[in-house]
Structure 1
Amino acid sequence: MADNLTINTSSTDYMAAMQQSSNPASSAPSNEMGQAEFLMLLTTQMQNQDPSKPMDPTSFVSDLTQMSQLESTNKMTESIMAMTMGFQNMQTLQGAALIGKNVQVNGEDFSHTQGQASQFSLSSDQPLSDVKVVITDANGIVKEIDAGSLQEGEKIVDWDGLDDVGAERADGLYSLTAYGTDENGDLKSIDTVVGSRVNSVGVNSDGSIALTLATGERVSMDDVREISG
């Protein structure tokens, strides 16, 4: 009857060595030439050169300098790539903290919460009078607000959440349109800054942060004018 096979430390090392030797990729030499390999090759060439036709030492120094510069450039590139990746990860983490927050962005669509006032800003590059703000939903006009006059710059307007008949409006997505009359009596549209909740955060192909709002709109982090809880 055959003796039981016992695997001790030495036999385990032997099996590991056998597995390593059977894997050509793990024992194959590197195909990349580093600075040490270049110096070894250079020394061998100098030892075996023809004494009557010695090689130009200047070219040796030039080649070595070029290799050193190439290695330094590669290392610098790797460091920059690592720093860029780390910065993008940090931006993503910071952006993730905005999920569920309310932000103010340039636009017309906004999300309204029942029982709470919705606030938005009007922005104009010229004085306007008889300013009107019209709030609508999928079914049509909800509320028309008389905002008076608007000087050059911004003006904040609040909507109490009630429609034209005084009924409280439910949670949902709404749109607004603002316009006023200039000094010549012409109607002018007014840019609006609206609030919406951040549903998700993503990263664009260029590494910048993009926010997906409750309205379904996707905006850049640079477009955010204000952040609130």
Structure 2
Amino acid sequence: MTTVNGTTSGSSTDSTSSNPTANLTDVSQLQNNFISLMVAQIQYQDPTDPVDSTQFVNQYSQLSQVQSLENLNTIQKNSLVLADNLQNLTAAGLVGHQVMVSADSLSLDAAAIDGQVQLEHASTSTTLKLTSSATGEVTEVALGPQEAGTVMFTVDPEKLGLAPGKYAVEVQTSSGEKPKVEIGGKVSNVRVSSNGPVLDVDGVGSVPFYNIVEFGSGAA
């Protein structure tokens, strides 16, 4: 498929449709043809009725603008590809490391899971609620009075008597604030999808890359 002046023609299966160089080549060829026609018309014009050179200048200026737009479009495409590659490399480098991700559910087994919330307001009564996806049973864990800032907690299935499975998780405060729950876990695998990298985080499951809120030694 060939693109000239922003118009697309040809079969959608043409291999040149994804080649930005082909677009630039076509525009350059069109520019060369235009110059050749302009020179020929000037050379063979009627001396008694010369062609208005202003028209040539305007047309050539428009053609140059088209070429500039094609160049800008190619640069933007290359920038997007570079950004995607950098994101994939960053995600791949997290395999085996601890991260903190925003999550509304947990996948519990026998291991304890650490988490935290960021409170904007002080709370005289703070409660962590775990709701079993299998039975709907709700388990509440009192976190006590908390000042504004980071509130850390640990979900220990053995101590809480929780069976393995998936649980919805939320934190309720006396101020009515509903903070996002952040869960810490190790990245075991990274998949590349059309929407960006997807990380498999222990205790959470599959998480989009943009759900990561913290990584490094502090995310343990």
Assess same fold via TM > 0.5. Answer: yes
Structure 1 position 210, deviation (Å): 4.7
2:181 counterpart residue number: 192
Tell whether 2:110 aligns with 1:121: no
For 2:113, the aligned partner's letter is S
2:113/2:185 contact within 8 Å kept:
no
Match of 2:94 among 98, 111, 116: 98
Say if 1:202 and 1:209, in contact at 8 Å, map to a contact too.
Answer: yes
Determine which structure has more spread, i.e. the larger CA radius of gyration: 1
CA contact (8 A) 1:132 1:180 kept: yes
CA distance in 2 between partners of 1:225 and 1:103 (Å): 8
SS at match of 1:148: coil
Corresponding residue to 1:153 among 133, 149, 154? 149
Q: Equivalent of 1:132, from 120, 124, 127?
A: 127
Maintained 8 Å contact 1:49/1:55 = yes
CA distance in 1, matches of 2:178, 2:44: 85
Partners of 2:107 and 2:205 within 8 A in 1: no
SS in 2 for 1:85: helix
Identify unmatched segments of 5+ residues in structure 2: 1-24
**Identity, % of aligned positions:** 23
Q: 1:1-229 residue pairs with structure 2 within 5 A? A: 33-112=29-108, 114=110, 116-135=111-130, 137=132, 138=134, 144-164=140-160, 173-182=166-175, 191-198=180-187, 199-204=189-194, 209-211=197-199, 213=201, 215-216=204-205, 218-221=207-210, 223-227=211-215, 228=219
Aligned 8 A contact 2:91 2:209 in 1 = no
Call closer, same or farther: CA 1:190–1:82 in 2, change over 3 Å.
closer
In 2 relative to 1, CA 162–144 (structure 1 residues): closer, same or farther, beyond 3 Å? farther
Residue 53 of structure 1 deviates from its aligned partner by 0.8
**TM-score (normalizing by structure 1):** 0.63
| Alpha-carbon offset, residue 45 of structure 1 | 1.0
Q: State the 1:149 CA deviation.
A: 0.6
List per-residue Cα deviations over 1:70-129 (Å, max 9, x = no partner): 223212321221222122122122223334544322333224563x54211133333222
For these two proteins, the number of residue pairs brought into alignment is: 189
- Secondary structure class of the residue paired with 1:98: coil
SS in structure 2 at match of 1:61: helix
